[in-house]
Amino acid sequence: MKYVKYGKCTCCGREYPAVPDLTNCQCGGILDIIYDYDGIRKAFTKDTLRERPDRSMWRYRELLPIEENTPPTPLRVGWSPLYEEPRLADMLDLKRLWVKDDGQNPTASLKDRASAMAVVKAREAGAKVIACSSTGNAASSLAGNAAAAGLETYIFVPSRAPKGKVAQLMTFGATVISVQGSYEETFALSKAAIEKWGWYNRNAAINPYLSEGKKTVAFEIMEQLDWQVPDYIAISVGDGCTIAGLWKGLKDLHAIGFIDRLPRLISAQAAGCCPLNRAIETGEPWKPMEENTLADSIAVGVPRNAHKALAAIRESNGLTVNVSDQEIMAAQGLLGRTCGVFGEPAGVTGTAGVKKLCEQGLLGREDTVVSVVTGNGLKDVANAIKACGEPITIPSDMDRLLEAFAERGVPVS
Ligand SMILES: *Cc1c(COP(=O)(O)O)cnc(C)c1O
Ligand SMILES: [Zn+2]
């Protein structure tokens, strides 16, 4: 890894050689991967990038912690579309708004970026088995990316995980343990099992390479915007790895001179589970909260990456916003109707947050905003139906159709 210097503890500053199975610092702190930006600046330019045919997260190799000869993972991860949404911008009274649809990754969430990185690092470590605990998407993305690479997976999910995600796991051939308990309890069992059997660890926050995969979402947003920095980037937050990765990617681009300023982050959490935002809002250390929201992917009462996430929000002079389940469901419908983008509840929480900040007058017609949709709605159809309703159900009969239209006031001409 030509441009990786070492892993550095975000708590005590201790440095570690960047071996493939790097985990936490001995003080318990989470590591950050440190790069030789001067070296990268010389070898990697916007022109080099423009000529690169690779349309996946691996097109940013110089900024990633992988060996030069490591092959990319088999599934196409990354390079999801960034749509400008002028009609939604008008409705919200924003200057410009873009939606980054990361539900279009191979297993339908942003987590594919981290899991593809886990597969690469597991291969470099010579591991044959990878394990993780997850609210659902880290699991399904790991199972899919590992299956494509011929690796075995052991997956721990809380029993509340939506059926779509569990179906993905079973289809990808993972050994799935559905834990009757909270995400916190699920995490604890996976940790004990990983220690017992020595599997490669894809647990969020423990493996410092995972955020390095997630940061590619920032690279893509900026490249797709032709390096014109938006005022804000909104994203949903659970463990905090995603927002920390997003921020790392932006700082990387700033450090190598690809962008001349940094956007402000918008950290969106569910009102029923917002320990990180509450810490920012009160100025106090974060405290555990109940996991009280239908947005299962961000129902994280004990965030695993609090330190990096809080630092990212603070450094970016970011905004926090907490949305109710009602507001999340409304955002599902809004994105669907106006953009044709189908997000799972946690996937649209960032957009729900943007809408709420507009209503509160904290965002307005001077502002340009990117909202990241982090997961696809097909993963959780039960909640989508709850949010957007049931169809007109009748026999095959024209009279009944006319009746039904009249009853519901459907305009037909
Ligand atoms: C995991 C996930 C998030 C949040 O990422 P964290 O790293 O846990 O903060 C948001 N949305 C979706 C769909 C996710 O799967
Ligand atoms: Zn340390």
Helix ranges, 74-207 (H): 86-92, 111-124, 137-149, 163-171, 183-197
User: CA quadruple 140, 142, 143, 149: dihedral positive or negative?
Assistant: positive
Q: How far apart are CA 275 and CA 273, in angstroms?
A: 6
Residue-wise pLDDT for 27-43, tens only, equals 999 999 999 999 999 99
pLDDT band for position 205 (cuts 50, 70, 90): confident
Phi-psi label, residue 112: left if phi above 0, alpha if psi -120 to 50, beta otherwise: alpha
Q: Which residue has the higher pLDDT, 256 or 412?
A: 256
Task: Provide the pLDDT for residue 70.
Answer: 86
Number of Cβ within a 10 Å radius of residue 387: 21
Task: Provide the pLDDT for residue 303.
Answer: 94
Q: Ligand 1 center to residue 298 CA distance, Å?
A: 6
Residue-wise pLDDT for 263-314, tens only, equals 999 999 999 999 999 999 999 999 999 999 999 999 999 999 999 999 999 9
Q: Is any atom of ligand 1 closer than 6 Å to the C-beta of 304?
A: no
Residue-wise pLDDT for 353-406, tens only, equals 999 999 999 999 999 999 999 999 999 999 999 999 999 999 999 999 999 999
Question: What residues pack around ion ligand 2 (CB closer than 5 A)?
Answer: 9, 11-12, 14, 25, 27, 29
Q: Is any atom of ligand 1 closer than 6 Å to the C-beta of 222?
A: no
| Strand-pair partners of 269 | 322
Which pair of tokens denotes residue 83?
A: 């749509």
Residue-wise pLDDT for 97-113, tens only, equals 999 999 999 999 999 99
Q: Is any atom of ligand 1 closer than 6 Å to the C-beta of 109?
A: yes
- High-pLDDT (> 70) share of the chain, %: 100
Report the pLDDT averaged over residues 2-21. 95
Q: How far apart are CA 103 and CA 342, in angstroms?
A: 8
Q: Is any atom of ligand 1 closer than 6 Å to the C-beta of 133?
A: no
Mutate to test the pocket of ligand 1, among 267, 297, 372 (most ligand atoms within 8 A of CB): 297
The whole-chain average pLDDT of the chain stands at 95
Q: Ligand 1 center to residue 30 CA distance, Å?
A: 18
Class of residue 277 by CB neighbours under 10 A (exposed 0-12, middle 13-18, buried 19+): buried
pLDDT band for position 172 (cuts 50, 70, 90): very high
Atom of ligand 1 nearest to the CA of 239: 8
Phi-psi label, residue 73: left if phi above 0, alpha if psi -120 to 50, beta otherwise: beta
56, 72 Cβ separation under 8 angstroms:
yes
pLDDT at 184 over 90: no
Task: Provide the pLDDT for residue 162.
Answer: 87
pLDDT at 336 over 90: yes
Q: Ligand 1 center to residue 333 CA distance, Å?
A: 20
pLDDT band for position 413 (cuts 50, 70, 90): confident
